Amino acid sequence: MQILLSCTFKNQCQQFLGIIGAMNNPPNFPEPTYPSQSSQHDAIYLCRGMNYEDGKAVLRIVIGRNSWQSARRPVQAPTEFASLNIANTCRVSEVHLPRPRIQSVTVLYRPRTARVQFLYLRDLMHPIQFVNKMSGTAWITIQDLLDGKTADILVGPELLVRCLVQNKLTLRLNWRGCKPWNDQFWTRTYSQDPKPITLGKLGERIAAAVRKFKQNFKIAEDSADRLAHTYPSAAELHRVVLIGFIRVSRGSWQPDLRVLV
């Protein structure tokens, strides 16, 4: 059967497969066996997910005999293992991978004067968060959003974002070492009866704005130490992750971006 990896980071998957290939006695991955061919088969390898223990990500592989109950198709996703009765586990292998580290690259926008800060910030709300349901992490990569994978990896992609009361908002992006950058996009659907956009659609529009910024950013002339910053040109979109969307004034929001290092 196939190996099911709940890890969403391609580099970790590649590193994991590289470790398996370098083992002295690597597991023998059998050819796919489907319920229509046999009611029982050996060696389904299931990566149960990433459990952070002592700062390391543990990928657990269960190797054993499994019996089918009512499934009529090959296993394609971890959720389909609910129809399996896993028994007679013969051994468990664990591979330890380094835990992903993230580096903050954005600076929170603040109005200049104290009075404006009070008027703008007194009615602000909690940020909109983006949680990855595959890995359980509180972030999602910009590349995954651009690829339209929100339905597969985002928690609550169909939830309506009703807190965006304006039809159009200003997105502020203050990347460390770069000049402040603004963009605007609609917060309603493109229809005769506009409705609030969903969380998944909001993530896609934020990702499009980040890609647009990456193509048009300018380095700040007063940057103290240019070598100390991670500039957008050096950060691939699959390494840039979206933590949340923060309302920084009554008409503008700012994405909280980090970079996987």
Q: Is residue 187 a part of any domain in this protein? A: yes
Q: Is residue 2 a part of any domain in this protein? A: no
Residue type at 240?
Answer: V
Q: What is the pLDDT of residues 88-104, one digit of tens each?
A: 333 334 444 445 678 88
Task: Look up the pTM and report it.
Answer: 0.59
**Residues 13, 19, 20, 24, Cα dihedral to 10°:** 180
Please count the structural domains in the chain.
2
Per the structure, the complete domain to which residue 220 belongs is given by: 102-260
Q: Is residue 235 a part of any domain in this protein? A: yes
- Report the DSSP pairing between strands 56-68 and 46-53: antiparallel
Same domain, 109 and 58: no
Q: What is the pLDDT of residues 112-138, one digit of tens each?
A: 667 666 666 665 667 888 988 887 788
Same domain, 133 and 214: yes
Same domain, 112 and 86: no
Same domain, 251 and 141: yes
The Cα–Cα gap between 106 and 108 comes to 7
Same domain, 73 and 133: no
More confident residue, 139 or 19: 139
Check whether 220 has a pLDDT greater than 60: yes
HSE, side-chain direction, 13 A CA sphere, residue 255: 31
The Cα–Cα gap between 193 and 178 comes to 39
Contact 96, 79 (CB under 8 A): no
Same domain, 133 and 238: yes
Distance of CA 141 to the CA centre of its chain: 4
Same domain, 158 and 177: yes
Same domain, 143 and 84: no
